[in-house]
């Protein structure tokens, strides 16, 4: 008995269709289970990531607070340092002023230079030879006149004068701050004003003695004088803590 051809052809097709459908269903089910597994696996990771984000946010808040606290501390320290700096600056200025007044620091600045020297004229036999020479009293007069003319620092032959510096005679030699000097005597006075010194009685006397006895007396104005620091011993009679 022969089977019709269309029946023979339909049998394999049915098996093929069933096989394809079965395979498709298997893949769909497998994919569904795989997706479910992936979602289950990702859930802990998401939870961990969310926890990490929250922890990081907490850290950022803490760091922001620490930064604000540090900035406030820096501001307080700067304010305190500024107050201390003002005090230190004031103390430093006072110390600098006292150092200058005590003559313990070298100074530079404009002022007057007065040069004194003995007369080069021949002394007449009947005259007093002393009037043709510069004496310690002469230096004292000039120095006082320069201070009166505004001098802030004075030196004689580069020997700095301070409040306790003596100008004396030791025989024929003039001694300033216990240092013997030789003529000519160069007196430098920083801060002294030319008009004030020339108007003084001492300057007028020396100008007269220059004409009459030939004493060396020359006054010049200098924009840059140098007066050394006092190098002698300073005796402290009293002191008190600040």
pLDDT of residue 27: 61
Closest CA to 163 of 149, 143, 179, 183: 143
Q: Which residues contact 175 (CB under 8 A, 6 or more apart)?
A: 136, 166, 167, 168, 169, 181
Q: What is the C-alpha separation between 153 and 155, in angstroms, rounded?
A: 7
Which tokens is 121 given? Answer: 């004229």
Which tokens is 179 given? Answer: 């240092």
pLDDT of residue 19: 59
From residue 83, alpha-carbon distances to 69, 74, 77 in Å are 21, 14, 10
pLDDT of residue 7: 44
Closest CA to 143 of 171, 117, 112, 118: 112
Which tokens is 116 given? Answer: 């004194």
Q: Where are the domains of the chain?
A: 1-102, 108-227
Q: In what order do the strands lie in the sheet with 173-176?
A: 167-170, 173-176, 179-181
Q: What is the C-alpha separation between 135 and 197, in angstroms, rounded?
A: 20
User: Does residue 183 contact residue 116 with C-beta atoms inside 8 Å?
Assistant: yes
Average pLDDT of adjacent 10-residue blocks, the chain of 242 residues: 47 56 60 58 67 68 63 67 67 69 82 96 86 94 96 93 88 90 95 96 95 95 92 63 54
Looking at the chain, the number of H-run helices and the number of E-run strands are: 4, 8
- CATH number of this structure's domain 108-227, picked from the four choices 3.40.50.720, 3.30.565.10, 3.40.50.970, 3.30.70.1880: 3.30.70.1880
């Amino acid at each position: 008995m022969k089977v019709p051809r269309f029946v023979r052809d339909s049998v394999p097709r049915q098996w093929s269709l069933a096989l394809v459908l079965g395979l498709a269903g298997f893949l769909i089910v497998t994919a569904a289970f795989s997706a479910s597994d992936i979602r289950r696996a990702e859930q802990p990771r998401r939870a961990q990531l969310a926890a990490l984000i929250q922890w990081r946010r907490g850290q950022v808040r803490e760091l922001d607070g620490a930064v604000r606290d540090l900035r406030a501390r820096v501001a307080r320290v700067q304010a305190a340092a500024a107050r201390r700096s003002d005090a230190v600056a004031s103390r430093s200025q006072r110390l600098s002023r006292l150092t200058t007044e005590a003559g313990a620091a070298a100074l530079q600045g404009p002022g007057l230079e007065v040069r004194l020297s003995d007369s080069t004229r021949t002394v007449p036999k009947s005259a007093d030879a002393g009037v043709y020479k510069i004496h310690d009293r002469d230096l004292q007069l000039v120095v006082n006149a320069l201070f009166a003319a505004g001098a802030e620092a004075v030196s004689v032959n580069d020997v700095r004068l301070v409040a306790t510096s003596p100008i004396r005679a030791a025989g024929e030699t003039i001694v300033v701050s216990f240092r013997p000097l030789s003529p000519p005597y160069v007196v430098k006075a920083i801060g002294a004003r030319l008009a004030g010194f020339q108007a003084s009685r001492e300057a007028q006397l020396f100008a007269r003695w220059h004409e009459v006895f030939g004493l060396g007396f020359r006054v010049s104005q200098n924009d840059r004088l140098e007066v050394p620091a006092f190098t002698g011993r300073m005796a402290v009679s009293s002191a008190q803590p600040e």
